[in-house]
Amino acid sequence: MVEIKEVGKESIAYELGISRGDRLCSINGYTINDEIDLMFHESDSSLVIEIEEGKEKRLIRTQKLPEERLGIKLSSFEFRRCNNSCIFCFYDQMPKGLRKSLYQKDDDFRLSFLYGNYITLTNMTEENFKRIGEQKLSPLYVSVHSTDPELRARMLGSAKKKASIKRALKRLVDEEIKIHTQIVICPGINDGKELEKTVCELSHYFPYLRSVAVIPVGLTKYREGLFPLRELTGKECLGIVKNILFWQEDFRKKFGVGFVYPSDEILIKAEFAIPMKEFYDDFAQLENGVGNSRIFLDEIEHINTEELKDMSGTVIFITSLLPFPWVNLLRKRLVLESTISCDIILLENSFFGKSVTVSGLLVGKDILKAVESYNSDADLFIIPRNCLNDDEVFLDDVSLKELNTLTGRKIISSPSSLSSLTDTLKRELIV
């Protein structure tokens, strides 16, 4: 039984008299515990829905098309928390004062299915595997790091038996569950031959194990007392890229896809050209920072600058070190092909430390300081969308609305696609 948080207007549930605050007990006799149960059981065409209103229960019968949703949103479930102590865990490297939700480490297969969160599979039960198979919860996203049980146990700070990944992967593959994996590279620990061995062994689970993302370890300045780690060097990144290109050549012959992909951060640090879109196949690991640069570069080329030739105003892009070259290309195109003036504020991450160069970890306080110290005229400041959550709040619990109020400037987040940039600028600037 779970409480109903929202009922969509003009939805099937609304027409059936189901209301916010009611409790959804079961569908066709199956207990509903969370959103996944709802998605799975509401897909039948003939439904018997058990609802609890106050202290009374009632049964509702209805017919619908299998693809139709009831229009119900359920209250959030209590997710399973991470029981590992990873040597590279980013949560352990965060100071106090950030959004409360950031300190809640999850390791729940339900969140992996619903939102693409990465899980370790170290806390799985027989019941969990059974449910994944029955409900076909696919794809799932799994943090591997190493297929060697002892090495993975050391990296996860977990028992060797729990950390062993091959048996868990085989169980998912046997249920025909698609899997996307990641390897966080810690120099001197799971790189080199260990990385090659891990990628090779993961390829044995293709075609259900669909991709491997190779990600550099992220280190903030808040590491006192933690396991000694260092960043990957440019030379090490280049070595990883060369190896991946070599492995991809073999995988494309066998599988028809590249299978293993370096993150944009590794490519940029290696000073390696961003590959063409064919390199990334179906871009399965975008949320993991794999292929975003290629999409951004392609979108720059397709911006319709003709509509901006009669526009006036000054736009300031705020970005971090990693995406700076691509944002600068965008600036150059706008300057050369429109009448808009453009500038860039390259922002060093003073909050987390200068080694953190991705735009998604920029915080409100650093942006506030940058905007306040910008002395030239500006009509519009555009910040990266990925440094905000759905409520437009930064990691440090500062909101975009607060930034606008405190600075007295117009600050917006970038459109989700650069194809919408023209419309955004036309809307925000004076013609």
pLDDT at 102: 81
Q: Is the pTM of this model over 0.85?
A: yes
Task: Please report, for the domain that includes residue 63, its CATH number.
Answer: 2.30.42.10
189 occurs within a structural domain: yes
Q: Are residues 21 and 107 in the same domain?
A: no
Indicate whether 81 belongs to any domain. Answer: no
pLDDT surpassing 90 at residue 197: yes
The pLDDT of residue 179: 98
* Residue 207: cis peptide before it, omega within 30 degrees of 0: yes
- Tell me how many degrees the CA angle 104-108-114 measures, rounded to the nearest 5: 100
Residue 430 pLDDT: 61
The tens digit of pLDDT for each residue in 349-396 reads 999 999 999 999 999 999 999 999 999 989 999 999 999 999 999 999
Domain boundary among 269, 290, 311: 290
Alpha carbon of residue 37 to chain centroid: 23
- CA–CA gap between residue 194 and residue 174 (Å, rounded): 26
pLDDT at 431 over 80: no
Residue 309, pLDDT score: 86
Give residue 311's pLDDT band: very low, low, confident or very high (50, 70, 90).
confident
The mean pLDDT of the chain is: 94
**Residue 120 in domain:** yes
In tens, the pLDDT along 381-394 reads 999 999 999 999 99
Q: How far, in Å, CA of 176 to CA of 336, rounded?
A: 51
Whether 277 is in a domain gets the answer: yes
Domain that holds residue 239: 91-290
Same domain (yes/no): 280, 381: no
- Indicate the residue among 236, 256, 290 that finishes a domain: 290
Q: What percent of the chain shows pLDDT beyond 90?
A: 87
Q: List the single range of 95-99, 142-146, 257-261, 342-346 with lowest mean pLDDT.
A: 95-99
Residues 284 and 306 in one domain: no
**Are residues 137 and 208 located together in one domain of the fold?**
yes
- Name the domain boundary from 240, 258, 290: 290
Whether 200 is covered by a domain: the verdict is yes
Give the pLDDT score at 357: 94
Q: Is 276 in the same domain as 422?
A: no
Question: Same structural domain for residues 187 and 258?
Answer: yes
Q: Same domain for 309 and 407?
A: yes
- Domain-embedded: residue 156: yes
Q: What is the CATH number of the domain that holds 346?
A: 3.40.50
Note the pLDDT of residue 55. 85
Q: Is the peptide bond before 139 cis (omega within 30 degrees of 0)?
A: yes
